[in-house]
Structures are given as structure tokens and as C-alpha cells.
Amino acid sequence: MADGPEGELSAGDPGAPGGPTVDGRAGPRTADEIDRPDISLIVAVLNEVDNIEPFVDRARRALDRERWEIVFIDDGSTDGTRARIEEAERVEARVRHLYRNAPTGTASAQYDGLARARGRFAVVMDGDLQHRPEELPRLLAPLQSGEADLVIGSRYVPGGRFVERPPLRGAISRAGDLLVRLLLPESWSLSDPMSGYFAFRRDLFRDRSLAPVGMKFLFYALVRVPVDRRREVPVEFAPRRRGSSKLLGLRSGIVRALVASARDAARSRPSHRISSPDSRASTGGDER
């Protein structure tokens, strides 16, 4: 695929819906499955060349009965990640990507990816496979049933866990958790406000005036969804098997990034919470 202008979204060829996928299996059966996904995975990556192919394969298997797409946001990788994503696009039409040549943080990358998403539901997750794609159905179920508007994968509710956690990462996580609770009251009801694995109704962000900062896009969702429309589900946080952790490498700036996200999310708090589709229907409003 020829490179487009920097920052332009690239897509696989929608004219080959039956073509091979990354591992050689059949692709989507109809063009409608490509053009009208129900679920958009928003995956910001930086130097994850060895994780792209297994991520696509595992997501495909997990969402076998769903209409889905993956929107990768490559935040200036230098290890060949962009080329590996473009290779995946050529063989899997439901993979798309955005290349950012001037990265401004994880939260803004995920927000930019969300702007390109087409699904009714969006899932924010990491591309390093520490967020296990096999848990996507559990994360999506409360949204699909109408039970919730925001579903957060928690490592601390019963059934959730860290498979492995280096002591330093644990200390960073606990300190971040305390800090967020001090700055953002919407986090008080959660067991895991530092989660990076969550799903929500995409129309929560119809307002495109945001300019998220820092590293936690979840905070911007929390201020839009009332407590009774949130759910936490257990997830396992898997150990990284390929590539190197970005969190530990950026530990000196983590506090600053968390504070920036929490404060900016609080400033972006809407004057009223976004209503659920059911409540809009009961008052005669549009469903979407």
C-alpha cells in the first residue's frame, strides 16, 4: 500500500472481502461486515512490531461472531510497526490505521483513533497483548445488552488479577490510583480507575471539541457516564512477552501525565451526563 500524507487514515482494500487474513484463513464474508462494524477496537501502539500480527489474529478469534474493525494509532514507531500494520491491512480488510508524526500522548492518540472509528461500541486497549483479546466478549456483553454505557476491565474485582507484576509497576499503579481518587471524584466508585482496558458507546464522544492530554482516556469517559450506567468486569493483566514496557521507561513523567489527564477531564465534564439510548427513546429523542 502506498503511503498517504502523514496523519491520513489508511485502510485495507474493502473490495476483497473474501481474501486471506494474516494467518491465511478466510476474511469477512460480505462487504457490509467491513463497512458497517458494530465494534471498533482503538489500539494505540509505539514500537510493537512483534505484537501486531498476534494481536490481529487473537482479536479475530475472540470476535468471530461479531462485526468488528481494528483502528491502530501508530504514535511514531521506529521499529517497523507501521509497515507491519500495513501488511496486516493488505490481508485483513477490517484493519485500519492512523499514523501520527507528532505524538501528543496516549489519551490524544486514542481520541484521534476514536474519530476514525465506525462501530456503535468502542473498546480502548493496549496492543502489547497485556490486555487479552479473549476477554473482549465479557467486556462487550453489558453494552450489547443495554445494561451499561461504560464497561471497565478491572484487575481487582473477583476474578480479575495480575498474572505477573514487577514490584516497581505495582508501586506506580498504587500511587496512581491514590492520586486519581484525590483529583477525580468520578473514580471513587471504581475498584480500578487506572485501567486501560474499557469499552463504551461511541456516541458518548459525539462532541469533537475535546483535546485530551496525558495518558488516561478513561477519565474522559468517567465524567460522561453516571455511576449506575457503569460496570466493572474481571480481566487478567497478562505479562508482556514481546517488546519492552513503555510505562517503566516513562516513570519519571507518569505523575505529571496522570495529573494532566485527571484535571483536563474534570474541566471537560459536561453540564449534564449523556443519557442512555433507552432514556432518550422514552422522551422521544434520537437513538443515536
What per-residue confidence (pLDDT) applies to 170?
A: 67
What is the rounded distance in angstroms from the CA atom of residue 245 to the CA atom of residue 242? 9
Instruction: Note the pTM of the prediction, 2 decimals.
Output: 0.84
Question: Which stretches of the chain drop beneath a pLDDT of 70?
Answer: 1-29, 166-170, 243-252, 272-288
What is the rounded distance in angstroms from the CA atom of residue 272 to the CA atom of residue 88? 41
Residue 208: count of CB within 10 angstroms of its CB:
9
What per-residue confidence (pLDDT) applies to 168?
A: 66
What per-residue confidence (pLDDT) applies to 174?
A: 79
Question: Any idea what the Cα angle at residue 145 is, between residues 27 and 152, rounded to 5°?
Answer: 85
What per-residue confidence (pLDDT) applies to 242?
A: 75
Query: What's the number of CA atoms in the CB half-sphere (13 Å) around residue 41?
Result: 29
What per-residue confidence (pLDDT) applies to 231?
A: 98
Burial level of 88, CB count in 10 A (0-12/13-18/19+)? buried
Residue 61: count of CB within 10 angstroms of its CB:
13
Name the residue ranges covered by the structural domains of the chain.
Answer: 9-269
Is domain 9-269 annotated with CATH 3.40.50.300?
A: no
